[in-house]
Every structure is written in structure tokens, then in C-alpha cells.
Amino acid sequence: MANFVSGAWKSGIFDNKVVFCTGGTGTICSGQVRALVSLGANACIIGRNAEKAQSVATGIAKERCGSKVLGLGGVDVRDFDKVKAAVETCVRELGGIDFVIVGAAANFLAPISALSLNAFRTIIDIDLMGSWITMKATLPYLLRSAERHKGSVSNGTGGRIVFISSTNYRSARVAQVHACAAKAGVNAISDVLSLEHAPQGLTSNIIAPGPIGDTEGLRRLSDPTLREDAIRSVPVQRLGLVKDIADATVFLFGDTGNFINGACLDVDGGSWRVRGGGQFGNRKYPESINSAASMGREKTSRL
């Protein structure tokens, strides 16, 4: 268990709970779900690629004997009807939804001068509209779970949602106007949700990962030749682990998160305080602008 979640958590703390996760085939979100399943939960992950969704779900299910993990493919988070159908399948097969991880996202590097209207809209649609659609489709079931678990001690927790954001919300980033705008909106959704439905027992929080090693996002958005410089720029002197995000998720969904609502938990080793708006992809400012322009033309030519 120590490879993907801390051994400090008690086994079985999420027995009979159900987690629904968008972006569940990705490295970070699949790690979050893996941790929850290992601690007793059943799960439903969705993605656009059916074969990958099923394969990842099968792998996660092996973490605990008797677990049930659904992998639903062909689901685009920009399509409310498809997300709603996936939610209904999850409820029908697993009995309800207690936890939601809103993790589907997309990103690439492109400065404003090289960013097309369609490319900007694509990220807004996936990251922001996809988060809104996921929240809307799962909210009725989250509220049912919140009601069942409100004030409960013996029955565990329920009615909790976590949005996966980014420390980009802290400051502007070169070549990331699309992602910064989208994640700012995602944070706003969570903040308002935490006000409107907390009286019914629901909690809404944000996890903002920093540089997490061995993930597709870090590989695509950073320069591998500057890896050591990137590590030195993190105050704790290492890149993050998927395990770090999983532990934060367990913290928020477990009894440890009972009074945490409307919060944003930065899991980045303090790196945003060092980097601010001066870098992107581990490249120094202002040299990063020229690099971003050339890379942006390549990335956006097909969008």
C-alpha cells in the first residue's frame, strides 16, 4: 500500500462507500481511486477510451479482494447526457455515490499570440464545463449520501466532492492563459458549492497539485533537461508523488476532513511560492516567452 497511499490510514475506513471519478484513467486520478479502493471503497471511473478505462479499472480492482470497479469508456465530460448516463450506471451497479473526484482535464503550452479561439475554447470546455457537468450530474446522489451521513459517527463519511485544480490559480503563468482561466473557474464552482450545500451536509474542496513526477502532464509541460533545476526550485527539494495527492484525497474524504469545506489544498511542496509567474515548463523568464511562442505554434496547429 505504501507505494500509492500512506500506511498511516486505517484499513476499511471507506467500506461500502462509492467513488465516482472523471479523468480516472490518468496517472493522478487513478492513483486517488486506487487508494480509496484499497481502503474499502468501490469505484466508477470514466474516460473517453473504452479499452483504457476498462484496463485501468481492472488494475485498480486488484488492490482489494472483493472490490467492484467499473471502467466506463466513450464518455466525454463535455457531453452532459453521456456523463449523466455514466452516473446512472454507477448508481445502478454500485448502489449510490458517496464521493466524487472531478479530475478530467487537458492542457498544452501556448502563449496568447499563438493560441487560437478553438484551442482556448477546448480547454475551457473540458476543464471548466466538464467540471460543471460532472458536478451537476452527480449532485443529487451526493446530497442523498450527505443526508445519510450527516452527523454520523459509526457510518463513516459521505457527500463529499473534490475538484482537481492547479496551483496556476495562485499567479499568472506564461503560455498557460487557457489553463489559468479554466482552473480559476473550477475553483469558483467549488467555492460556491461549498456555501450553497454545506447546510445539507455536503462538503466541496479543491486539491491543487504542483509538479508531480512521472505523470503525463509533467512530461508534456516541462523540459526534461532541466529536471534538476525544477527539483531545486521546490522548497522540499523533490517532485511530488501520486501518493501525495492520494493521501490528500483520503484526508478530505475521511473523518479527518469532517470540518474542511470550501478549502483549496495545495499539494506542491511550496513550489508556487518560488516560481510565481516567472516560469513555465521549468524555463526561465523572459527567455520562456520565445520558447513558448515556437512551441505554441506547434501545439495549436491542429486545434
Which residue, among 21, 54, 53, has the nearest Cα to 37 in the 3D structure? Answer: 21
User: One of 82, 183, 243, 299 is an active-site residue; which one?
Assistant: 183
Tell whether the model's pLDDT for residue 26 goes beyond 90. yes
In this structure, how many other beta carbons lie within 10 angstroms of the beta carbon of residue 256?
Answer: 13
Please report the beta strands in 50-191, taking only residues with DSSP state E, as ranges in sequence order: 69-72, 99-102, 160-164
Which residue, among 265, 272, 213, has the nearest Cα to 241 in the 3D structure? Answer: 213
For residue 164 the three cell numbers come to 482537481
Based on the residue annotation, tell me whether 82 is a catalytic residue of this protein.
no
Tell whether the model's pLDDT for residue 126 goes beyond 60. yes
Backbone angles phi, psi at 196, to 5 degrees: -75, -30
Topology of the domain comprising 18-300: Rossmann fold (3.40.50)
* Backbone torsion region of residue 16, taken as left when φ is above 0, otherwise alpha when ψ lies between -120 and 50, otherwise beta: left
What pLDDT sits at residue 294? 60
Alpha-carbon 264 to chain mean position: 12
Give mean pLDDT, residues 178-189: 97
For residue 283, the cross-strand partners are 280
What pLDDT sits at residue 201? 96
User: What are the sequence ranges of the domains in the chain?
Assistant: 18-300
Of 39 and 154, the structure prediction assigns the larger pLDDT to 39
Least confident of 45-49, 76-80, 213-217: 213-217
- Write out pLDDT tens, residues 205-249: 999 998 888 777 666 666 777 778 878 888 888 989 999 999 999
Least confident of 211-215, 258-262, 274-278: 274-278
Based on the residue annotation, tell me whether 52 is a catalytic residue of this protein.
no
Give mean pLDDT, residues 127-145: 98
Distances in whole angstroms, Cα of residue 188 to Cα of each of 23, 107, 198: 20, 19, 15
Please report the beta strands in 112-225, taking only residues with DSSP state E, as ranges in sequence order: 160-164, 203-209
What pLDDT sits at residue 225? 72
User: One of 30, 38, 165, 204 is an active-site residue; which one?
Assistant: 165
Tell whether the model's pLDDT for residue 277 goes beyond 60. no
What is the rounded (10 degree) CA torsion for 262, 171, 108, 263?
-10
pTM attached to this predicted model: 0.90
What pLDDT sits at residue 275? 63
Mean pLDDT, the chain, whole residue set: 90
